[in-house]
């Protein structure tokens, strides 16, 4: 039996002041891409309120950064429960008096055969991957409108514009998330609010490591994933997080209702 793979350590994010004093709300922060966003945003001096349905784990992430002198608070929140996201927004306003950025990162893969899928699977996928982001937007928009400025970033997917067989109904919800991004971006543009999406492709997170470890030769399966991509590798969570830093910063004031794809160019190809 081949050795199981482990996740490579997250590299030190670059330090700077690109988000100095910005109050940032982030969902799905306990691991993976969300955890990398905490690292990069804290390292750029953001004040973070982070949440996840895994309450203890997200508190550990916050404590790690607080111990290093950064301003990071955690709260347990289920994005499918509107009241949890309102509580998160309330905490931000009570502590910091404003909300500059919301990153909707919480998400789940629900991959089922369409006709075998239960009603519960369908509802769970939409409740987390689409309703969750909408509830996040609803919780922060009144404050952002009052301020006359704000940036919302939705972590979508290449599944937001492309279909991979066997992944139903995840792409249906992620297509909806891109629609939500565009619709709200237009709706609130004149009020100073930007709503954008990031569409990661294949990213090296625990979920994918677990998937490769399900094969007899995990290393060969990882290599197969790498070979599907023009740069002959897949993406790293930090690469998604650095794009979120850009969209959250003052460097992207005219980028609205857009989606930035991070997949090494794979989705542009028609055939390998």
Q: Give the residue carrying structure tokens 């001096």.
A: 45
**Would you say 163 or 189 has its CB closer to ligand NAD?**
163
Shortest spacing between CB 26 and ligand NAD, in angstroms: 10
Rounded least distance, CB 116 to ligand NAD, Å: 22
- Of 170, 188, 202, 270, catalytic: 170
Q: Which is nearer to ligand NAD, 46 or 50 (CB)?
A: 50
Between the two ends of the chain, the Cα-to-Cα distance in Å is 31
The DSSP letter of residue 111 is: B
Cβ atoms 247, 179 nearer than 8 A: no
Nearer to ligand NAD, 88 or 141 (CB): 88
Kindly list the residues in this chain that would bind ligand NAD in the complex (CB under 6 A).
27-28, 30-34, 52-54, 77-80, 105-108, 128, 155, 157, 200, 202-203, 205-208
Q: By the 8 A CB rule, do 13 and 43 touch? A: yes
Q: Given the complex with ligand NAD, which of 81 and 145 has the nearer CB atom? A: 81
Q: Please indicate whether residue 170 is annotated as part of the active site.
A: yes
- Helix, strand, coil: what percent of the chain each, to 5? 45, 15, 40
Residue 270: CB minimum distance to ligand NAD, A: 21
- The least CB distance from residue 83 to ligand NAD, in Å, is 13
**Cβ 58 vs Cβ 51: under 8 Å:** yes
Which residues fall within 8 angstroms of residue 31, CB to CB, at 6 or more apart?
Answer: 52, 54, 57, 205, 206
Dihedral sign (CA 28, 182, 190, 256):
positive
**Residues recognised as catalytic:** 170
């Amino acid at each position: 039996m081949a050795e199981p793979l482990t996740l490579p350590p997250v590299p030190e994010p670059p330090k700077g002041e690109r988000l100095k004093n910005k109050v940032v709300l982030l969902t799905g922060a306990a691991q993976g891409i969300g955890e990398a966003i905490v690292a990069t945003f804290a390292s750029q001096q953001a004040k973070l309120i982070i949440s996840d349905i895994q309450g203890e784990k997200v508190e550990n992430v916050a404590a790690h950064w607080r111990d290093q002198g950064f301003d990071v608070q955690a709260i347990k929140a289920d994005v499918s429960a509107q009241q949890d996201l309102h509580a998160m927004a309330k905490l931000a306003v009570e502590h910091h008096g404003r909300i500059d950025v919301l990153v909707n990162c919480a998400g789940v893969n629900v991959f089922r055969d369409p006709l075998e899928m239960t009603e519960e699977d369908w509802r769970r996928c939409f409740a987390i991957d689409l309703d969750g982001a909408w509830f996040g937007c609803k919780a922060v928009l009144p404050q952002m409108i009052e301020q006359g400025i704000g940036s919302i970033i939705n972590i979508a997917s290449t599944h937001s514009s492309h279909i991979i067989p066997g992944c139903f109904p995840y792409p249906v919800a992620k297509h909806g998330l891109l629609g939500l991004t565009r619709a709200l971006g237009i709706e609130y543009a004149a009020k100073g609010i930007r709503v954008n999406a990031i569409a990661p492709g294949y990213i090296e997170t625990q979920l994918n490591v677990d998937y490769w470890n399900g094969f007899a030769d995990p290393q060969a399966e990882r290599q197969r994933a790498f070979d599907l991509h023009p740069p002959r590798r897949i993406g790293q969570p930090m690469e998604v997080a650095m794009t979120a830093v850009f969209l959250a910063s003052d460097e992207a004031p005219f980028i609205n209702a857009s989606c930035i794809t991070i997949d090494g160019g794979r989705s542009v190809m028609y055939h390998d």
